[in-house]
Amino acid sequence: MKTLRVLSSKPLSQESKEKIEILFRKKVEGQADFVYEIDESLIGGIKVFDGSIVYDGTISGKLEQIKQSLR
């Protein structure tokens, strides 16, 4: 079973956690455990670690994507 690490800037509601778990269980095609951690350096959004794969849904991550697309 995989363990996914979820970072957020503030504690997530139970509803948000359930949505994240449904989405990522589909992505990993199976069972997964979730560990939630607070990272106050994040401006907003979440970052999910699945082994060496990082899903960056943070505000700073999205800004970086925009910056790269403008080059």
* Distance between CA atoms of residues 30 and 47, nearest Å: 20
Q: How many helices and strands in the chain, by DSSP H and E?
A: 2, 4
Which tokens go with 4?
């996914």
Neighbours of 3 (CB within 10 A): 11
pLDDT in tens, 5-55: 999 999 999 999 999 999 999 988 878 999 999 999 998 999 999 989 999
- pLDDT, residue 27, reads 86
The predicted model scores a pTM of 0.85
* Distance between CA atoms of residues 46 and 34, nearest Å: 13
- pLDDT, residue 13, reads 96
Q: Which helix (H) or strand (E) holds 10?
A: none
| Domain coordinates in residue numbering, the chain | 2-69
